[in-house]
Structure 1
Amino acid sequence: MAAMNTPAPSARPDQSPISRDQLAWLEQQADHLQVAAEHELRAAGASGLTELALIRALQSPRWQLIEPVTFSDPTALYPVHFLLFHALYRLQSELAQASETLVISPLRLCILTTGSGSTRALPAEEDPLRSFYLDLYRYFLSGHDIRGMMERFLAGVTLAGSPEDVQEAAQVLGFDTLPGDFDTVKQRFRRRVMQAHPDRGGRTEDIQELNRAFSVLKRHFTRQ
Protein backbone atom coordinates (compact mmCIF):
# COMPACT_ATOMS: atom_id res chain seq x y z
CA MET A 1 0.00 0.00 0.00
CA ALA A 2 1.19 3.54 -0.73
CA ALA A 3 1.90 5.75 2.26
CA MET A 4 -0.98 8.01 3.19
CA ASN A 5 0.39 11.37 2.16
CA THR A 6 1.45 10.11 -1.27
CA PRO A 7 -0.73 11.97 -3.83
CA ALA A 8 -3.75 10.08 -5.08
CA PRO A 9 -3.66 8.99 -8.73
CA SER A 10 -4.22 11.90 -11.11
CA ALA A 11 -4.62 14.42 -8.28
CA ARG A 12 -7.33 16.74 -9.51
CA PRO A 13 -6.73 20.41 -10.29
CA ASP A 14 -8.97 22.90 -8.49
CA GLN A 15 -12.48 23.03 -9.93
CA SER A 16 -12.22 19.68 -11.77
CA PRO A 17 -14.37 16.69 -10.79
CA ILE A 18 -13.01 13.92 -8.59
CA SER A 19 -12.56 10.68 -10.48
CA ARG A 20 -13.70 7.23 -9.42
CA ASP A 21 -10.06 6.17 -9.31
CA GLN A 22 -9.29 8.87 -6.77
CA LEU A 23 -12.20 7.87 -4.55
CA ALA A 24 -11.26 4.19 -4.83
CA TRP A 25 -7.69 5.06 -3.85
CA LEU A 26 -8.88 6.98 -0.80
CA GLU A 27 -11.22 4.16 0.23
CA GLN A 28 -8.33 1.70 0.06
CA GLN A 29 -6.14 3.98 2.18
CA ALA A 30 -8.95 4.37 4.71
CA ASP A 31 -9.49 0.60 4.91
CA HIS A 32 -5.86 0.01 5.86
CA LEU A 33 -5.86 2.89 8.33
CA GLN A 34 -9.04 1.64 10.00
CA VAL A 35 -7.57 -1.82 10.65
CA ALA A 36 -4.27 -0.45 11.94
CA ALA A 37 -5.87 2.25 14.09
CA GLU A 38 -8.20 -0.26 15.76
CA HIS A 39 -5.23 -2.49 16.58
CA GLU A 40 -3.24 0.39 18.11
CA LEU A 41 -6.19 1.76 20.09
CA ARG A 42 -7.07 -1.64 21.52
CA ALA A 43 -3.45 -2.10 22.55
CA ALA A 44 -3.50 1.30 24.28
CA GLY A 45 -6.53 0.37 26.39
CA ALA A 46 -8.83 2.84 28.13
CA SER A 47 -6.12 5.48 28.41
CA GLY A 48 -6.13 5.72 24.62
CA LEU A 49 -3.80 7.72 22.39
CA THR A 50 -3.54 11.28 21.18
CA GLU A 51 -3.88 11.86 17.46
CA LEU A 52 -0.16 12.56 17.21
CA ALA A 53 0.73 9.37 19.07
CA LEU A 54 -1.51 7.37 16.74
CA ILE A 55 0.07 8.98 13.67
CA ARG A 56 3.53 8.06 14.96
CA ALA A 57 2.39 4.49 15.55
CA LEU A 58 1.08 4.27 11.99
CA GLN A 59 4.40 5.63 10.74
CA SER A 60 6.34 2.92 12.57
CA PRO A 61 7.99 -0.03 10.76
CA ARG A 62 5.10 -2.20 11.96
CA TRP A 63 2.64 -0.39 9.66
CA GLN A 64 4.45 2.14 7.45
CA LEU A 65 1.10 3.66 6.48
CA ILE A 66 2.08 7.31 6.84
CA GLU A 67 5.18 8.98 5.46
CA PRO A 68 7.03 11.71 7.40
CA VAL A 69 4.87 14.81 7.62
CA THR A 70 5.64 18.42 8.56
CA PHE A 71 3.37 18.91 11.57
CA SER A 72 3.86 22.67 11.54
CA ASP A 73 2.45 22.97 7.98
CA PRO A 74 -1.38 22.75 8.04
CA THR A 75 -1.63 22.08 4.31
CA ALA A 76 0.76 19.11 4.63
CA LEU A 77 -0.84 17.79 7.81
CA TYR A 78 -4.47 18.12 6.70
CA PRO A 79 -4.62 15.18 4.21
CA VAL A 80 -3.09 12.89 6.86
CA HIS A 81 -5.41 14.18 9.59
CA PHE A 82 -8.52 14.05 7.42
CA LEU A 83 -8.10 10.53 6.10
CA LEU A 84 -7.19 9.20 9.55
CA PHE A 85 -10.33 10.73 11.05
CA HIS A 86 -12.40 9.47 8.14
CA ALA A 87 -11.21 5.98 9.05
CA LEU A 88 -11.85 6.59 12.76
CA TYR A 89 -15.44 7.73 12.23
CA ARG A 90 -16.08 4.67 10.06
CA LEU A 91 -14.62 2.50 12.82
CA GLN A 92 -16.82 4.29 15.35
CA SER A 93 -19.93 3.25 13.44
CA GLU A 94 -18.82 -0.38 13.27
CA LEU A 95 -17.91 -0.56 16.96
CA ALA A 96 -21.29 0.88 17.94
CA GLN A 97 -22.91 -2.24 16.49
CA ALA A 98 -20.84 -4.32 18.94
CA SER A 99 -21.75 -2.15 21.97
CA GLU A 100 -18.40 -0.40 21.93
CA THR A 101 -17.68 3.32 21.74
CA LEU A 102 -14.77 4.94 19.97
CA VAL A 103 -14.14 8.20 21.80
CA ILE A 104 -12.96 10.85 19.35
CA SER A 105 -11.99 14.04 21.16
CA PRO A 106 -9.40 16.78 20.54
CA LEU A 107 -7.11 15.18 23.12
CA ARG A 108 -7.82 11.47 23.25
CA LEU A 109 -8.83 8.57 21.04
CA CYS A 110 -9.86 5.37 22.80
CA ILE A 111 -12.18 2.38 22.57
CA LEU A 112 -14.57 1.80 25.49
CA THR A 113 -17.26 -0.76 26.14
CA THR A 114 -20.63 0.99 26.15
CA GLY A 115 -22.24 0.80 29.57
CA SER A 116 -19.00 -0.02 31.38
CA GLY A 117 -17.96 3.34 32.69
CA SER A 118 -18.54 5.13 29.40
CA THR A 119 -20.78 8.19 29.39
CA ARG A 120 -20.29 8.83 25.68
CA ALA A 121 -23.24 8.65 23.36
CA LEU A 122 -23.30 6.45 20.30
CA PRO A 123 -22.60 8.15 16.95
CA ALA A 124 -25.18 10.74 16.00
CA GLU A 125 -25.87 11.17 12.31
CA GLU A 126 -26.46 14.91 12.78
CA ASP A 127 -23.01 15.47 14.31
CA PRO A 128 -21.48 18.09 11.97
CA LEU A 129 -17.90 16.94 12.61
CA ARG A 130 -18.83 13.36 11.87
CA SER A 131 -20.58 14.39 8.65
CA PHE A 132 -17.55 16.45 7.63
CA TYR A 133 -15.04 13.63 8.04
CA LEU A 134 -17.21 10.99 6.41
CA ASP A 135 -17.42 13.08 3.23
CA LEU A 136 -14.33 12.03 1.24
CA TYR A 137 -14.68 15.05 -1.03
CA ARG A 138 -13.46 17.15 1.92
CA TYR A 139 -10.05 15.57 1.42
CA PHE A 140 -9.54 17.97 -1.49
CA LEU A 141 -9.94 21.29 0.36
CA SER A 142 -7.85 24.15 -0.96
CA GLY A 143 -4.88 25.46 0.99
CA HIS A 144 -6.84 28.63 1.80
CA ASP A 145 -9.75 26.64 3.26
CA ILE A 146 -7.38 24.43 5.26
CA ARG A 147 -5.60 27.38 6.85
CA GLY A 148 -8.89 29.04 7.74
CA MET A 149 -10.21 25.85 9.30
CA MET A 150 -7.06 25.37 11.39
CA GLU A 151 -7.25 28.97 12.63
CA ARG A 152 -10.85 28.44 13.74
CA PHE A 153 -9.92 25.17 15.42
CA LEU A 154 -7.04 26.70 17.38
CA ALA A 155 -9.35 29.54 18.41
CA GLY A 156 -11.64 26.97 19.98
CA VAL A 157 -14.59 27.60 17.68
CA THR A 158 -15.22 23.95 16.82
CA LEU A 159 -14.56 22.43 20.23
CA ALA A 160 -17.57 21.17 22.15
CA GLY A 161 -15.81 21.31 25.54
CA SER A 162 -17.37 18.23 27.11
CA PRO A 163 -16.45 17.59 30.78
CA GLU A 164 -14.17 14.75 29.71
CA ASP A 165 -12.38 16.95 27.17
CA VAL A 166 -11.93 19.75 29.71
CA GLN A 167 -10.46 17.41 32.32
CA GLU A 168 -8.10 15.84 29.78
CA ALA A 169 -7.00 19.29 28.62
CA ALA A 170 -6.20 20.28 32.20
CA GLN A 171 -4.09 17.15 32.59
CA VAL A 172 -2.15 17.87 29.38
CA LEU A 173 -1.15 21.22 30.89
CA GLY A 174 -0.08 19.47 34.08
CA PHE A 175 -3.05 20.21 36.37
CA ASP A 176 -4.43 17.49 38.64
CA THR A 177 -7.78 19.30 38.75
CA LEU A 178 -9.31 22.08 36.68
CA PRO A 179 -8.12 25.53 37.87
CA GLY A 180 -10.69 28.02 39.03
CA ASP A 181 -9.70 30.80 36.64
CA PHE A 182 -8.35 31.23 33.12
CA ASP A 183 -5.36 33.36 34.20
CA THR A 184 -3.90 30.32 35.94
CA VAL A 185 -4.37 28.32 32.75
CA LYS A 186 -2.61 30.99 30.66
CA GLN A 187 0.37 31.11 33.03
CA ARG A 188 0.76 27.34 32.99
CA PHE A 189 0.34 27.21 29.22
CA ARG A 190 3.11 29.77 28.64
CA ARG A 191 5.45 27.88 30.96
CA ARG A 192 4.76 24.51 29.31
CA VAL A 193 5.22 25.95 25.80
CA MET A 194 8.59 27.39 26.79
CA GLN A 195 9.64 24.01 28.18
CA ALA A 196 8.50 22.23 25.00
CA HIS A 197 10.16 24.65 22.58
CA PRO A 198 12.39 22.89 20.00
CA ASP A 199 15.32 25.11 21.05
CA ARG A 200 15.11 23.41 24.45
CA GLY A 201 14.87 19.90 23.07
CA GLY A 202 11.10 19.81 22.63
CA ARG A 203 9.09 18.93 19.54
CA THR A 204 6.65 20.86 17.39
CA GLU A 205 4.11 18.06 17.94
CA ASP A 206 4.25 18.63 21.71
CA ILE A 207 3.51 22.33 21.27
CA GLN A 208 0.56 21.48 19.03
CA GLU A 209 -0.86 19.19 21.71
CA LEU A 210 -0.48 21.99 24.26
CA ASN A 211 -2.25 24.35 21.84
CA ARG A 212 -5.17 21.95 21.53
CA ALA A 213 -5.46 21.63 25.31
CA PHE A 214 -5.29 25.41 25.73
CA SER A 215 -8.02 25.87 23.11
CA VAL A 216 -10.33 23.46 24.95
CA LEU A 217 -9.84 25.29 28.25
CA LYS A 218 -10.16 28.72 26.64
CA ARG A 219 -13.49 27.68 25.15
CA HIS A 220 -14.59 26.29 28.52
CA PHE A 221 -13.87 29.48 30.46
CA THR A 222 -15.32 31.71 27.71
CA ARG A 223 -18.65 29.90 28.01
CA GLN A 224 -18.86 30.43 31.76
Structure 2
Amino acid sequence: MTTPHRPELGDSRRDSSTRPSGRVNRRLNKALCWFRPAQRENGDRGAGFVEIGVVTVFAAAIITLVYQSEISSTFNNGVRQMVCLVGGPECGDETWVDHDRPEDPEEYEWGGGGDNNHADNQNIAMQSATAYGWTDQEWTCLDSMWSQMSGWDPSIVDPEYGTHGIVGFNPAVHGAMPDGFQNSASVQIDWGLSYIESTYGTPCQAWSYWQSTKSY
Protein backbone atom coordinates (compact mmCIF):
# COMPACT_ATOMS: atom_id res chain seq x y z
CA MET A 1 0.00 0.00 0.00
CA THR A 2 1.50 3.33 -1.12
CA THR A 3 1.40 6.43 1.03
CA PRO A 4 -0.35 9.38 -0.64
CA HIS A 5 1.74 12.39 -1.45
CA ARG A 6 1.22 15.13 1.20
CA PRO A 7 3.27 18.22 0.33
CA GLU A 8 1.50 20.28 3.03
CA LEU A 9 3.05 17.97 5.60
CA GLY A 10 6.54 18.48 4.34
CA ASP A 11 6.60 15.33 2.16
CA SER A 12 9.65 15.77 -0.07
CA ARG A 13 8.44 13.28 -2.75
CA ARG A 14 7.70 14.89 -6.14
CA ASP A 15 4.26 14.73 -7.60
CA SER A 16 4.22 12.26 -10.51
CA SER A 17 2.54 14.93 -12.65
CA THR A 18 5.67 17.06 -12.37
CA ARG A 19 8.10 14.27 -13.10
CA PRO A 20 9.85 14.23 -16.52
CA SER A 21 7.91 11.12 -17.57
CA GLY A 22 4.64 12.91 -16.89
CA ARG A 23 5.65 15.89 -19.03
CA VAL A 24 6.70 13.57 -21.85
CA ASN A 25 3.36 11.80 -21.76
CA ARG A 26 1.48 15.09 -21.92
CA ARG A 27 3.52 16.30 -24.89
CA LEU A 28 3.07 12.96 -26.65
CA ASN A 29 -0.69 13.07 -26.16
CA LYS A 30 -0.77 16.62 -27.47
CA ALA A 31 1.14 15.61 -30.61
CA LEU A 32 -1.11 12.64 -31.25
CA CYS A 33 -4.14 14.91 -31.22
CA TRP A 34 -3.09 16.09 -34.70
CA PHE A 35 -3.58 12.57 -36.02
CA ARG A 36 -6.79 11.71 -34.16
CA PRO A 37 -10.12 12.47 -35.85
CA ALA A 38 -12.07 15.20 -34.16
CA GLN A 39 -14.71 13.91 -31.81
CA ARG A 40 -18.09 15.06 -32.98
CA GLU A 41 -21.56 14.80 -31.64
CA ASN A 42 -24.15 12.90 -33.62
CA GLY A 43 -25.50 16.15 -35.02
CA ASP A 44 -22.11 17.06 -36.51
CA ARG A 45 -21.63 13.91 -38.54
CA GLY A 46 -23.25 15.48 -41.59
CA ALA A 47 -20.83 18.36 -41.45
CA GLY A 48 -17.97 15.86 -41.33
CA PHE A 49 -19.13 14.19 -44.50
CA VAL A 50 -19.37 17.56 -46.22
CA GLU A 51 -15.80 18.36 -45.22
CA ILE A 52 -14.60 15.02 -46.60
CA GLY A 53 -16.42 15.67 -49.87
CA VAL A 54 -14.91 19.14 -50.23
CA VAL A 55 -11.41 17.79 -49.59
CA THR A 56 -11.93 15.00 -52.15
CA VAL A 57 -13.12 17.42 -54.85
CA PHE A 58 -10.23 19.76 -54.10
CA ALA A 59 -7.71 16.90 -54.37
CA ALA A 60 -9.24 15.74 -57.66
CA ALA A 61 -8.99 19.27 -59.05
CA ILE A 62 -5.32 19.44 -58.14
CA ILE A 63 -4.61 16.05 -59.80
CA THR A 64 -6.43 17.19 -62.96
CA LEU A 65 -4.44 20.41 -63.15
CA VAL A 66 -1.18 18.53 -62.72
CA TYR A 67 -2.14 16.04 -65.43
CA GLN A 68 -2.99 18.81 -67.89
CA SER A 69 0.09 20.84 -67.12
CA GLU A 70 3.55 20.53 -68.64
CA ILE A 71 4.67 18.57 -65.59
CA SER A 72 2.80 15.49 -66.84
CA SER A 73 4.26 15.84 -70.35
CA THR A 74 7.76 16.25 -68.94
CA PHE A 75 7.34 13.14 -66.79
CA ASN A 76 6.05 11.06 -69.72
CA ASN A 77 8.90 12.17 -71.95
CA GLY A 78 11.38 11.26 -69.24
CA VAL A 79 9.93 7.76 -68.90
CA ARG A 80 9.95 7.31 -72.68
CA GLN A 81 13.61 8.29 -72.90
CA MET A 82 14.52 5.82 -70.17
CA VAL A 83 12.65 3.06 -72.00
CA CYS A 84 14.46 3.90 -75.22
CA LEU A 85 17.79 3.52 -73.46
CA VAL A 86 17.09 -0.14 -72.68
CA GLY A 87 16.47 -1.25 -76.24
CA GLY A 88 13.10 0.16 -77.25
CA PRO A 89 12.35 1.88 -80.56
CA GLU A 90 14.04 5.17 -81.24
CA CYS A 91 12.63 8.19 -79.45
CA GLY A 92 10.74 9.74 -82.31
CA ASP A 93 7.26 9.76 -83.76
CA GLU A 94 7.17 5.94 -83.96
CA THR A 95 5.18 4.30 -81.20
CA TRP A 96 5.60 0.83 -79.72
CA VAL A 97 2.54 -0.37 -81.67
CA ASP A 98 3.92 0.95 -84.97
CA HIS A 99 7.32 -0.57 -84.25
CA ASP A 100 5.94 -4.06 -83.56
CA ARG A 101 3.35 -4.13 -86.36
CA PRO A 102 4.17 -6.88 -88.88
CA GLU A 103 4.65 -6.11 -92.53
CA ASP A 104 1.65 -6.29 -94.85
CA PRO A 105 1.17 -9.77 -96.33
CA GLU A 106 2.04 -10.32 -99.94
CA GLU A 107 -0.90 -10.06 -102.29
CA TYR A 108 -1.78 -12.76 -104.77
CA GLU A 109 -1.15 -11.73 -108.35
CA TRP A 110 -4.65 -12.86 -109.42
CA GLY A 111 -6.60 -10.88 -106.85
CA GLY A 112 -9.82 -12.19 -105.30
CA GLY A 113 -11.96 -13.10 -108.28
CA GLY A 114 -14.66 -11.07 -109.93
CA ASP A 115 -15.19 -12.75 -113.31
CA ASN A 116 -18.86 -12.37 -114.26
CA ASN A 117 -18.86 -14.94 -117.12
CA HIS A 118 -19.63 -17.87 -114.86
CA ALA A 119 -22.46 -19.24 -117.02
CA ASP A 120 -20.32 -19.02 -120.17
CA ASN A 121 -17.44 -20.83 -118.46
CA GLN A 122 -19.85 -23.51 -117.26
CA ASN A 123 -21.15 -24.05 -120.81
CA ILE A 124 -17.60 -24.39 -122.16
CA ALA A 125 -16.87 -27.08 -119.56
CA MET A 126 -20.11 -28.94 -120.33
CA GLN A 127 -19.30 -29.13 -124.05
CA SER A 128 -15.69 -30.19 -123.37
CA ALA A 129 -16.82 -32.85 -120.83
CA THR A 130 -19.18 -34.33 -123.43
CA ALA A 131 -16.15 -35.14 -125.59
CA TYR A 132 -14.88 -37.31 -122.72
CA GLY A 133 -18.27 -39.00 -122.42
CA TRP A 134 -18.97 -37.28 -119.11
CA THR A 135 -22.66 -36.45 -119.14
CA ASP A 136 -25.55 -36.83 -116.73
CA GLN A 137 -24.16 -37.98 -113.34
CA GLU A 138 -20.52 -37.41 -114.28
CA TRP A 139 -21.30 -33.87 -115.37
CA THR A 140 -23.21 -33.31 -112.12
CA CYS A 141 -20.13 -34.38 -110.11
CA LEU A 142 -17.87 -32.13 -112.18
CA ASP A 143 -20.20 -29.16 -111.87
CA SER A 144 -20.53 -29.66 -108.10
CA MET A 145 -16.77 -29.91 -107.60
CA TRP A 146 -15.74 -26.89 -109.63
CA SER A 147 -18.67 -24.82 -108.33
CA GLN A 148 -17.40 -25.30 -104.78
CA MET A 149 -13.77 -24.84 -105.76
CA SER A 150 -14.16 -21.56 -107.61
CA GLY A 151 -17.75 -20.73 -108.47
CA TRP A 152 -16.54 -20.97 -112.11
CA ASP A 153 -14.38 -17.86 -111.63
CA PRO A 154 -11.05 -18.22 -113.52
CA SER A 155 -9.40 -15.36 -111.61
CA ILE A 156 -10.03 -16.62 -108.07
CA VAL A 157 -7.30 -17.75 -105.67
CA ASP A 158 -8.08 -19.65 -102.47
CA PRO A 159 -5.71 -18.24 -99.79
CA GLU A 160 -6.32 -21.20 -97.49
CA TYR A 161 -5.53 -24.03 -99.91
CA GLY A 162 -3.49 -22.16 -102.53
CA THR A 163 -5.64 -23.26 -105.44
CA HIS A 164 -6.00 -21.16 -108.60
CA GLY A 165 -8.76 -20.71 -111.13
CA ILE A 166 -11.85 -22.69 -112.03
CA VAL A 167 -10.30 -26.15 -111.70
CA GLY A 168 -8.38 -25.56 -108.44
CA PHE A 169 -4.85 -25.76 -109.84
CA ASN A 170 -2.33 -25.86 -107.00
CA PRO A 171 1.32 -25.14 -107.96
CA ALA A 172 2.53 -26.92 -104.81
CA VAL A 173 0.76 -30.13 -105.91
CA HIS A 174 0.43 -29.96 -109.68
CA GLY A 175 3.77 -28.41 -110.60
CA ALA A 176 4.37 -25.64 -113.11
CA MET A 177 1.34 -23.71 -114.28
CA PRO A 178 0.48 -24.37 -117.97
CA ASP A 179 0.98 -21.60 -120.51
CA GLY A 180 -1.98 -19.23 -120.73
CA PHE A 181 -3.58 -20.78 -117.66
CA GLN A 182 -3.88 -17.53 -115.72
CA ASN A 183 -5.80 -15.57 -118.35
CA SER A 184 -7.92 -18.20 -120.08
CA ALA A 185 -10.93 -20.09 -118.73
CA SER A 186 -10.71 -22.52 -121.69
CA VAL A 187 -7.09 -23.40 -120.91
CA GLN A 188 -8.02 -24.02 -117.27
CA ILE A 189 -10.95 -26.25 -118.21
CA ASP A 190 -8.90 -28.28 -120.72
CA TRP A 191 -6.17 -28.84 -118.13
CA GLY A 192 -8.72 -29.82 -115.46
CA LEU A 193 -10.50 -32.40 -117.62
CA SER A 194 -7.22 -33.94 -118.75
CA TYR A 195 -5.92 -34.07 -115.17
CA ILE A 196 -9.11 -35.74 -113.88
CA GLU A 197 -9.03 -38.41 -116.59
CA SER A 198 -5.35 -39.28 -116.03
CA THR A 199 -5.48 -39.19 -112.22
CA TYR A 200 -8.98 -40.38 -111.21
CA GLY A 201 -10.63 -41.69 -114.33
CA THR A 202 -13.93 -39.88 -113.87
CA PRO A 203 -15.23 -36.63 -112.33
CA CYS A 204 -17.30 -38.52 -109.72
CA GLN A 205 -14.21 -40.28 -108.38
CA ALA A 206 -12.34 -36.96 -108.28
CA TRP A 207 -15.34 -35.33 -106.57
CA SER A 208 -15.45 -38.06 -103.91
CA TYR A 209 -11.75 -37.56 -103.15
CA TRP A 210 -12.10 -33.76 -103.06
CA GLN A 211 -14.98 -33.89 -100.58
CA SER A 212 -12.75 -35.51 -97.96
CA THR A 213 -9.52 -33.62 -98.64
CA LYS A 214 -10.51 -30.31 -100.34
CA SER A 215 -7.85 -31.09 -102.92
CA TYR A 216 -7.43 -33.50 -105.84
TM interval, shorter chain, is under 0.3
> Which has more radius of gyration?
2
Question: Normalised by the size of structure 1, how large is the TM-score?
Answer: 0.19
